[in-house]
Amino acid sequence: MNHRPAQADARAKPHTDPMRRFGRLRARGLRARLAVLGAMLPGLLACGAEPAPRLTAAGPVADWPHYGGGLEGLGWSPLDQIDRSNVGHLEVAWQHRSGDISDGSGDLSRTSFQVRPIVPNGTLYYCTGMNRVFALDPETGAERWSYDPGMRNRKLIGPYPRVCRGVAWWPDEQAQPEATCRERIYTATLDAELIALDAKTGEPCDDFGQGGRVALREGLGPVPDWEYYATSPPLAMNGVVVVGALVADNLRVDAPSGVVRAFDARTGALRWAFDPVPPGWVTRPRAEGERLYESGTPNVWSILSGDAARGLVFVPTGNGSPDLLSAVRSGLDHYASSVVALDAATGKVVWHFQTVHRDVWDYDVPAQPALFEIDGVGGGVAGVAQITKMGHLFLLDRATGTPLYPVEERPVPAGDVAGEALSPTQPFPTHPETLHPAALPPEQAHGFTPIDRGDCEAKLSRYRNEGIFTPPSLEGSIQYPGNAGGPNWGGVSIDPERGLLFVNQMRSAAVVQLIPRSDFATLDPEGAVYPQELFPMAGASHGARREPLLSNFGAPCSPPPWGVLQAVDLVSGELRWEVTLGTSRDQAPWPLWFDSGAPNLGGTLATAGRLVFIGATTDKFFRAFDADSGEEIWRTRIPFTANATPMTYRLRPGGKQYVVIAAGGHGWSEPGDALLAFALPGPVEAP
């Protein structure tokens, strides 16, 4: 709102008091001097201002054709037009608003704008929480086309918002240059469909499935809409489109299968299915036509990566059902909480590495495996970097899955629930060591005052609290990090030139309690108020309760910082730096704005300009950090929190480098729809 100074009343009579008259004259002189200063001020500021950066046509150009930049998911760009010396001049070059916003009222679930766009072959593509797909001019933001799939699944279950994190692109090298659907955009939806679109027009590819669509619930048996759907982009590579799906957590033992499938990129015909059952599994009895794939198997809800030359697809898996009680999974933990390498042509397992044994913490592998090859790391072999919710970073041989550095099986607390047979040990990496604190003893309880600190200390003493991997219990257990991490789906970015890996993390604890079936029957899971969650786990001996560990003032009981950004030297295994990420602004009223770190979801972008860009936090800022030191060297206010992962591109020598971030909130903040592109001001000089 613009405010204008009140105008003097023209009817007021002039004062005749000489002192007042003197005051008017003095004020008139002051106004005159201020007017002169005001006229001089722009010139004075210009004299001391840093000049705008000079942009030349020199330097690399690069697009961003896949979710992680390339199929390997490094989240890194060789572009350096924007660097540490000029990042402070970044400004909004364009923005696109889809209008796809829901606050969760009515019959439509709340939206969260978590997309990471792609830019292959001169067009930017992105999707929204309503599963609409947009094609834009990457340099102006002008809309080229949009596609609406006609969403049917309007109300999702639980606290999770409507998201679409990305789309996939595939060029059909066998098609004629001007053929329809020679380049295709694939999107997987909340309606559990895989859709193929013509990249030039946005029209469905009629030769793919049924009118451009493949139904993903086929073979699963009866499944409610809200229990099985896709939130992450498919992977298109070597003539196949590979896709997994989210399965709603902890609702029932016989949850839908976590099957991963590959479809022919041209026809949509099923090429293979990886049903993650253990080797030698004897299929359970089922009625004819009831379902094709085994129920309760680990699902793959996060982002895939691929090695086209080796013909490998890398899959991060979740838990068997239910997440929090292993006794009823009947041996379906074999591929759970793992990174699995599949043959892209057949779907056969080449290798798998398990990050958690018999997982009862919901520590599913949340992030895209990052494929690297760096001199000095593991002898320079092709590797896989897999971050986990525990803050464990596993570096594996890409061909065999063998750890590049020792992984130690260390004793962990035992379970005390009848029928549970937990693993006595868990794998811990040694290069690097764990990147998240492994314990939260009562003496580390946080509080702004003795009152809330005492409340947190009492809670940490009351519940079972034996450090990381304390299992859920009847009395309630402290889980630190909580089930959201640590790191989450934002994953990592890797600078392959300097061997640096960047990752953001949350540091907050949760309380998890198992509740006997007879007691759980008296509770109303649908009446639970988020952030408390009640899980029925139908078919198991117990239900469960889970909620963040907060003080009576509503703040985390874990000590700040509650959000961090880290750089890891992959050669030495050392933590190069760690800095606080985020503030309490936009979550607390002024003056309670502290540099305390913030819960964060979304990831990093690393560039050859030695910058790390990130949104992710609960405050409405987009930031850039010095990749060498971790110093925050730029931040700007944005209209909504940016709980997404940024990307960048520069498409021609005479063009600018753009950095793009989706700002559209999360469950903890206002939903929005602002796709923002930042660039440096001024023209690019001719070479």
Indicate the pLDDT class of residue 28, thresholds 50, 70 and 90: very low
156-188 tens-digit pLDDT: 987 789 999 999 999 999 999 999 999 999 999
Active-site residue, selected from the candidate residues 275, 362, 452, 673: 362
Indicate the pLDDT class of residue 34, thresholds 50, 70 and 90: very low
Give the separation between CA 679 and CA 687, rounded to whole angstroms.
19
Specify whether the backbone of 45 is left (phi greater than 0), alpha (psi in -120 to 50) or beta.
alpha
The answer to whether residues 384 and 395 touch, using CB atoms and an 8 Å cutoff, is: yes
Residue, of 112 and 31, whose pLDDT is higher: 112
Look at residue 40 and tell me whether its pLDDT is greater than 80: no
Instruction: Provide the β-strand partners of residue 186.
Output: 168, 196
Look at residue 22 and tell me whether its pLDDT is greater than 80: no
Look at residue 663 and tell me whether its pLDDT is greater than 60: yes
Cα Rg of the chain, angstroms: 27
Residues 6+ apart with CB under 8 A from 572: none
State the average pLDDT over residues 201-222.
96
Q: What is the pLDDT of residue 592?
A: 81
574-602 tens-digit pLDDT: 999 999 999 999 988 888 888 999 999 99
Torsion of CA 665, 488, 159, 638, to 10 degrees: -10
Domains present along the chain, CATH in parentheses: 366-509+549-637 (2.40.128.630)
Task: Give phi and psi for 39, each to the nearest 5.
Answer: -70, -35
Indicate the pLDDT class of residue 49, thresholds 50, 70 and 90: low
Going by C-alpha positions, the residue among 447, 173, 187 that lies closest to residue 308 is: 173
Which of 40-54, 180-194, 338-352, 519-533 bottoms out in mean pLDDT, i.e. has the lowest? Answer: 40-54
| pTM exceeds cut of 0.75 | yes
Give the separation between CA 548 and CA 554, rounded to whole angstroms.
10
362 catalytic? Reply is: yes
Instruction: Provide the β-strand partners of residue 340.
Output: 315, 352
Q: What is the pLDDT of residue 44?
A: 37
Look at residue 388 and tell me whether its pLDDT is greater than 70: yes
Indicate the pLDDT class of residue 324, thresholds 50, 70 and 90: very high
Element (H, E) at 460: helix 450-462
665-677 tens-digit pLDDT: 998 899 999 999 9
Element (H, E) at 21: helix 18-48
Sheet strands (E) in 344-488:
349-354, 370-372, 383-387, 393-397, 407-411, 425-429, 477-479
State the average pLDDT over residues 479-484.
96
Instruction: Provide the β-strand partners of residue 164.
Output: none
Q: What is the pLDDT of residue 686?
A: 78
Q: What is the pLDDT of residue 31?
A: 44
State the average pLDDT over residues 300-319.
98
Question: What's the order of all strands across the beta sheet hosting 193-198?
Answer: 168-171, 183-188, 193-198, 213-215
Give the separation between CA 501 and CA 495, rounded to whole angstroms.
6
